[in-house]
Amino acid sequence: MTGMKKQLYRFSEAPIWNIQRQYYEDKGTKAWNNDQVPQYITSNPMIGAAYAEMIFGLLQDRANQGHDAEPVYIVELGAGAGRLANHVLHELCQLREYAGIALPEFRYVMTDLAMSNVMAWKKHPALQRFVAEGLLDFAQYDAARDTVLNLVVSGTTIGEAALRQPLIIVANYFFDSIPQELIYVGGGQIYEADVYVEYTEEQVSSKPSEWLNQIKLSYEHRRAPEYEQDNYPYRDIIAIYQEQLEDSHILFPAVGINCLERLNRLSQAGFVLITADKGDHLLDNWKFAEPPELMVHGSFSLTANYHAIQHAFEQRGAETLFPPHHYKNLNVGCILNVEQPTGYPNTRLAYRRCIERFGPDEFFSLKIWVDRNVDSMGLQQLLSFWRLGGYDAEFFIQSAKRISGLLPDANEEELRDLLLGIERMWSSYYVMEQRYDLALDAGLILFEMDMYEHAKRYLETSVREEEDEVVSTVYYCLAICCFELELVEDAAVYLRKLLELEPDHEEALALIAHLEHD
């Protein structure tokens, strides 16, 4: 049997972080297939709309302050599959059009460590309209090192003090996945919790996700008086931990705070951070905390220390917004690191309205319940939840069978609302690396609703996009749609395609015979 290797590292320098980078660089956008790396909770239309409302609030605030000549840049860190950016931009454009008021222009910049992701976004069909309008750009960005943003489409480099508007930073599932220090507080003293990484020689050549699943971690405390020195940049935060915590392991986000400080230097007006994560901003949640365990999902994540990030910028005059209640699945915060944060009432009100009162965390808790009860819900309940979630494609896909079963008893108003929902869902649909034939589901539902013109459009989209996997039912439905719309020649074309797949299809043979007789 191959021998075990066991080596001691400072936590932030352990090989787990290089393996994390390697995983995302190797996988690219495939990392989010089958939700291997979770993305729905931070990338659905509901959270996209909430973020758009806060960004729109900031645009209003800057206009009201007389700062509307320069564009506002929105930089998403670790944009991953790209779905969140699509939803934010879709909603932001709708808000701009609906309001019809003078606002600063905006530019959204999607960033990631993996250049393969940047290139995939650049080619993604759903994003082309935003690129064409000059609203979207892309950049490779290493959050641990980079000091400038080199934009791929415009060729612009955003360097120190280049921006006159506050930089809006979007960071979802970001701070939990970048290197962190691990300290231990005991007896009023600070220790570093170094980590032993134990693995076999065979694991060295395994895939990153397999290596992360098989390694064993253990910890050893080492006195670290440097954290207690007056010249340590975050000494005031460490002092709070010394005074108020005991026997507690603290993930300390020095890299994350430093990343925000470097981004802050890009703007003359500071930044506004909008962030969501498994992260605690309440000090009580770090009391008697055990050593961290890696949450492995292809890559891995930890718990983000929002308390330290919050305190670091509050000391510099920022206003931080986090829910007053405890979060269950997702903690959503906003940090206004700008001059006179109280001068941003629309931004702050949008946070209160879209996060604090009822936000993405509450929505996801409801969705967990709805997912288990879809088969017992009525059409009005399904429509209401679908509307609450911003006409989310994932919910439509999982409830399509239930909706189909309820159609015979649906009234005309419900059918029209269902059509409206399908149209709105499709307008913001973002195809992931792992494709799903949403057009087919939509087309079949509309076919059952006798809305043949709409059904034909979606079913033809399905045929174009899934040319090698078309099932005979689709051609039959398309033929019926064409008959109903008096497009007889088109109906004949689809019937012949159907008979190529199923030469003995009785209904198709009868219809062809009828056409030839006429």
Q: What pLDDT was estimated at residue 38? A: 62
**Degrees, nearest 5: CA angle 135-123-460:** 105
Asked whether the predicted pLDDT for residue 367 surpasses 90, the reply is yes
- The rounded distance, in Å, linking the Cα atoms of 108 and 88 is 9
The residues, any chain, with a CB within 8 Å of residue 22's CB and separated by 6 or more, are: 208
Domain 364-516 superfamily per CATH: Tetratricopeptide repeat domain (1.25.40.10)
- Cα dist from 5 to 83, 201, 203, 215, 218, whole Å: 40, 7, 10, 10, 13
Q: Please tell me the predicted confidence (pLDDT) of residue 34.
A: 56
Check whether 282 has a pLDDT greater than 90: yes
The string of DSSP letters for 460-503 reads HHHHHHTGGG--HHHHHHHHHHHHHTT-HHHHHHHHHHHHHH-T
Report the pLDDT averaged over residues 257-281. Answer: 97
Residue ranges of the chain that CATH labels 3.40.50.150: 35-178+267-289+302-359
In order of 30, 393, 498, the CA distances from 399 in angstroms are: 25, 10, 28
Cβ-based neighbours of 363, under 8 Å, separated by 6 or more: 44, 46, 47, 388, 389
pLDDT over threshold 60, residue 377: yes
Q: Which of 64-78, 149-163, 208-222, 398-412 has the lowest mean pLDDT?
A: 208-222
Strands (E), 146-206: 149-150, 157-158, 167-172, 181-186, 189-200
Q: Spell out the CATH class of 35-178+267-289+302-359.
A: alpha beta
CB 329 within 8 Å of CB 339: no
Q: pLDDT-based confidence at 475, cuts 50/70/90?
A: very high
The phi-psi region of residue 134 (left if phi > 0; otherwise alpha if psi is between -120 and 50; otherwise beta) is left
CA–CA gap between residue 40 and residue 35 (Å, rounded): 8
Percent of the residues in the chain that have a pLDDT greater than 90, as a whole number: 78
Mean pLDDT for the stretch of residues 349-360: 97
Which pLDDT belongs to residue 98? Answer: 96
Mean pLDDT of 321-345: 96
Q: In Å, what is the CA distance from 111 to each residue of 19, 75, 158?
A: 20, 7, 13
Residue 29 pLDDT > 70: no
Per-residue pLDDT, 1: 42
Query: What pLDDT sits at residue 16?
Result: 86
**The pLDDT of residue 360:** 96
Q: What is the mean pLDDT of residues 251-277?
A: 97
Residue 35 has pLDDT above 70, yes or no: no
Angle between helices 472-484 and 452-465 (to 10 degrees): 150
The pLDDT of residue 93 is above 60: yes
**Section 224-233 average pLDDT:** 94
Q: What angle do CA 375, 380, 384 make, to 5 degrees?
A: 95
- The rounded distance, in Å, linking the Cα atoms of 474 and 481 is 10
3-state secondary structure of 195: strand
| 195 compared with 515, residue with greater pLDDT | 195
Region 332-356: mean pLDDT is 97
Q: Which whole number is the average pLDDT over 418-430?
A: 96
pTM across the whole model:
0.93
Q: Where in the chain is the domain with CATH 1.25.40.10?
A: 364-516
The pair of three-digit structure tokens given for residue 356, joined into one six-digit string: 């604090």
222-253: string of b/e by CB count within 10 Å (b at 16+)? eebeebeeeebebeebbeebbeebeebbbbbb
Tokens representing 79?
A: 């944009």
User: Nearest CA to 73 among 83, 84, 58, 60?
Assistant: 58
Higher pLDDT, 29 or 19: 19
Say how far apart CA 381 and CA 370 lie, in whole Å. Answer: 10
* Cβ pair 78, 112 in contact under 8 A: yes
What is the per-residue pLDDT across 290-303, written as a single tens digit (0 to 9) for each?
A: 998 887 776 788 89
